[in-house]
């Protein structure tokens, strides 16, 4: 590992991987549990930083996180409203919200395509001041992100064990059955999308605070990255309990980011091809199960032919 990836690069990969885990968790809720293709992820990711940065610049760095999550929940509510009340298909609803969020993000950022929080106290600068130890100064950002991720994962697992969480899971499995059980699917879909988008916005807020700057196109391609992390995690951990699947999402996101970091550090993949690599990883990961089935089928055909040849002799 040291010869392929330096310690600082590994640290950065884990930090970004922890943030990507939150977006992957959001996609896990909307795509894997609710069975809804939410394409508003890119715009909601940028919205999270835009709101978090404005609140941070206003002198409230601690409130930046809940403010960003609330903004993300509002985005999820609009997406759910389009689907459940206006009958818009989930993919179209996500595209509509994502397009509208571009202008919303510009407005939040003061009609500027860039926003910087250099010179302002943030969550990470406040955490850095808690201790003067050398290791803390160097690793405080990763520790803070790990703690936030751990808390979110525990809350998500606990939530989906509650009655409401089980209802949301049932909605993704069979809407008609849920409706027949006197559960309002409109409510469960709305809660699920609000929760998912709040996690996406939280991730956007954290990446902005980590980088101390933001661009209006920050979230471009984020849905592909999150999908890659989700698919990698499910391929490694399989589909079991919610806790197992959540762990798989986190492992997949971190592993994805480490793979990208190794590829970039060894010059195997140019930085300009980052999005293309993400798309290829998603395509390969999704096609793997079908590829295994085709290989197994070919082996069965070959075995049948050999058996038939032996019988003929």
- pLDDT for 112 beyond 70: yes
- pLDDT for 313 beyond 70: no
pLDDT at 161: 92
Query: What does 56-101 look like in DSSP terms, one character per residue?
Result: HHTT-TTTHHHHHHHHHHHHHHHHHHHHHTS---HHHHHHHHHHHH
For residue 214, the cross-strand partners are 115
**Residue 172 pLDDT grade (very low, low, confident, very high; cuts 50, 70, 90):** confident
Mean pLDDT calculated for residue range 292-309? 81
pLDDT at 310: 58
pLDDT at 164: 92
- pLDDT for 278 beyond 80: no
Decide: 36 and 193 in contact? Cβ < 8 Å: yes
Dump pLDDT digits (tens) for 123-154: 888 888 888 788 887 888 899 999 999 999 99
**Residue 67 pLDDT grade (very low, low, confident, very high; cuts 50, 70, 90):** very high
Alpha carbon separation from 311 to 90, 277, 306 (Å, rounded): 55, 49, 9
pLDDT at 2: 44
* Distance, CA of 155 to CA of 153 (rounded, Å): 5
Sign of CA dihedral 165, 186, 52, 271: positive
Report percent pLDDT > 70 for the chain: 95
- pLDDT for 279 beyond 50: yes
* Distance, CA of 19 to CA of 9 (rounded, Å): 15
Decide: 49 and 294 in contact? Cβ < 8 Å: no
H or E segment to which residue 36 belongs: none
pTM, whole model, 2 decimals? 0.88
Mean pLDDT calculated for residue range 91-114? 92
* Higher local confidence (pLDDT), 312 or 179: 179
- pLDDT for 262 beyond 90: no
pLDDT at 214: 80
Token pair belonging to 127: 């955490």
- pLDDT for 238 beyond 80: no
- pLDDT for 307 beyond 50: yes
* Distance, CA of 148 to CA of 19 (rounded, Å): 9
* Higher local confidence (pLDDT), 128 or 266: 128
**Residue 309 pLDDT grade (very low, low, confident, very high; cuts 50, 70, 90):** low
């Amino acid at each position: 590992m040291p010869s392929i990836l330096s310690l600082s690069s590994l640290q950065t990969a884990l930090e970004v991987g922890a943030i990507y885990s939150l977006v992957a968790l959001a996609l896990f809720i909307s795509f894997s549990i609710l069975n809804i293709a939410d394409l508003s992820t890119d715009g909601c990711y940028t919205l999270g930083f835009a709101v978090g940065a404005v609140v941070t610049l206003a002198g409230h760095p601690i409130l930046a996180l809940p403010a960003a999550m609330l903004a993300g929940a509002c985005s999820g509510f609009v997406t759910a409203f389009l689907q459940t009340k206006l009958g818009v298909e989930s993919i179209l609803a996500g595209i509509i919200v994502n397009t509208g969020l571009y202008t919303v993000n510009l407005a939040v950022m003061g009609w500027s395509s860039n926003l910087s929080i250099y010179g302002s106290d943030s969550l990470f600068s406040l955490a850095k001041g808690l201790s003067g130890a050398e290791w803390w100064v160097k690793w405080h950002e990763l520790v803070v992100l790990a703690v936030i991720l751990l808390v979110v994962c525990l809350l998500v697992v606990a939530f989906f064990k509650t009655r409401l969480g089980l209802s949301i899971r049932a909605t993704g499995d069979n809407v008609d059955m849920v409706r027949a059980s006197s559960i309002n699917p409109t409510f469960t879909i709305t809660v699920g999308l609000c929760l998912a988008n709040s996690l996406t916005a939280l991730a956007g807020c954290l990446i902005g605070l980590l980088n101390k700057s933001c661009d209006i196109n920050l979230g471009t391609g984020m849905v592909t990255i999150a999908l890659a992390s989700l698919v990698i995690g499910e391929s490694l951990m399989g589909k079991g309990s919610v806790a197992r699947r959540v762990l798989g999402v986190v492992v997949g996101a971190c592993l994805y980011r480490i793979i990208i970091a190794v590829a970039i550090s060894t010059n195997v993949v140019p930085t300009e091809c980052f999005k293309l690599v993400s798309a290829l990883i998603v395509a390969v990961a999704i096609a793997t199960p079908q590829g295994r089935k085709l290989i197994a089928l070919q082996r069965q055909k070959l075995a049948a032919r050999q058996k038939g040849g032996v019988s003929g002799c």
